[in-house]
Structure 1
């Protein structure tokens, strides 16, 4: 296992629904196979319409979230409008690429709802930017993406997307030793965002 792989551990998923976006991640903090905490937070609310789910070094996740919050607040103050999801994603993509020599050890999902509807973007540690309907990042991504691939449907609502996100994270927790200890979920719709934490659930296939 390389040093980068040792630092970017855990599992996060993002799902775009017809009426919003669901971002979710498990709570275990580990570097390599050494566990440091069972109560880490990897899902962050930027504002009412934008959220971030990330895996990697917690400090790097927190710094990127603070950058996004600051710039999105300034954008809203200057323009008197809500920033687009692509604006937030492009900002973080630029930050990650600008620090590529000494990179942030993260993989990032940015999602939310703007005037054009729901959007979800995926980024690696160097800022590569892709928009998609669903994604999984981290050491448990192969397990989680199998659930997403087999169960995602165009037009599903946020309630269905939430249940699918839980199922995908539980699948990664069941086999990935550095994923576990519960799930944080951020659900974003046109009416705002809600955050919740649920305990570890048994896998249901």
Structure 2
């Protein structure tokens, strides 16, 4: 009996600097060697202060985004208080852990802004949560993280951090056959969320 490994492919990165958070991912959706779409979205806004970038199965990413968005909106409506980024990351962790017997096939980078400042978390498919200054997930992560590590500084401007994220994803795309076809970037600052797309 033989088992074929299903490689979904993706590269997503996150960078936290003094002036904000950057999340980005490429757009190619592939299963094994087959490209399903060149216009997939793997970066998602959550409210007006948080976002997530993901690698893995696109349906799982979309479902997690919908569940988390609804939960945060409900909690803020009921309590009349803004959910902190740490609390939102812990909530996402609990959601992931509750499905550990049939896990969501997604690695997630989650970031945002609250009254404590800027935060960036990395979560695996069963809910472990690690806060960090920068991260990369997906099949292109080993290449992307090398680019970020070589140039990261906490005092980078948000614009320079976004450029670094784009360069890291471009480097991954050049070496990872299942990543490609454009880049989506979200920047989060105290002024809100900005989105942009880079065509390749």
TM bucket (normalised to shorter chain) is over 0.9
Q: Give, in angstroms, the shift of residue 4 of structure 1.
A: 6.7
Q: Over aligned residue pairs, what C-alpha RMSD do you find?
A: 1.3
Say if 1:30 and 1:37, in contact at 8 Å, map to a contact too: yes
Specify whether residues 176 and 3 from structure 1 end up closer, same or farther in structure 2 by C-alpha distance, changes over 3 A only: same
Instruction: Number of aligned residue pairs: give it.
Output: 198
TM-score after normalising by structure 1: 0.93
2:85 corresponds in structure 1 to: 85
**Residues 143-162 of structure 1 mapped to structure 2, 5 A cutoff:** 143-162=143-162
Q: Give, in angstroms, the shift of residue 12 of structure 1.
A: 0.2
Q: Give, in angstroms, the shift of residue 34 of structure 1.
A: 1.5
Following the alignment from structure 2 to structure 1, what is the Cα–Cα distance between the partners of residues 115 and 4?
41
2:29 corresponds in structure 1 to: 29
Deviations 1:113-158 (CA, angstroms, capped at 9, x unpaired): 1110000000111111100000000000000000011000022221
Following the alignment from structure 1 to structure 2, what is the Cα–Cα distance between the partners of residues 186 and 4?
31
- 1:6 aligns to what SS in structure 2? coil
Q: Which moved more, 1:84-93 or 1:172-181?
A: 84-93
Following the alignment from structure 1 to structure 2, what is the Cα–Cα distance between the partners of residues 96 and 31?
22
TM-score after normalising by structure 2: 0.95
Q: Give, in angstroms, the shift of residue 5 of structure 1.
A: 5.7
Following the alignment from structure 1 to structure 2, what is the Cα–Cα distance between the partners of residues 80 and 5?
44
1:178 corresponds in structure 2 to: 178
1:59 corresponds in structure 2 to: 59
Specify whether residues 87 and 3 from structure 1 end up closer, same or farther in structure 2 by C-alpha distance, changes over 3 A only: farther
Q: Which moved more, 1:78-87 or 1:134-143?
A: 78-87
Deviations 1:81-111 (CA, angstroms, capped at 9, x unpaired): 3211111111111111111110100000100
1:49 corresponds in structure 2 to: 49
Specify whether residues 4 and 78 from structure 1 end up closer, same or farther in structure 2 by C-alpha distance, changes over 3 A only: farther
- 1:144 aligns to what SS in structure 2? helix
Following the alignment from structure 2 to structure 1, what is the Cα–Cα distance between the partners of residues 92 and 6?
21
Q: Give, in angstroms, the shift of residue 195 of structure 1.
A: 1.1
Say if 1:4 and 1:105, in contact at 8 Å, map to a contact too: no
Following the alignment from structure 1 to structure 2, what is the Cα–Cα distance between the partners of residues 4 and 15?
30
Specify whether residues 143 and 177 from structure 1 end up closer, same or farther in structure 2 by C-alpha distance, changes over 3 A only: same
1:6 aligns with 2:39: no
- 1:173 aligns to what SS in structure 2? helix
* Displaced runs of 4 or more, over 3 A: 2-5
Any gaps of 5 or more consecutive residues in structure 2?
A: none
Say if 1:10 and 1:178, in contact at 8 Å, map to a contact too: yes
2:38 corresponds in structure 1 to: 38
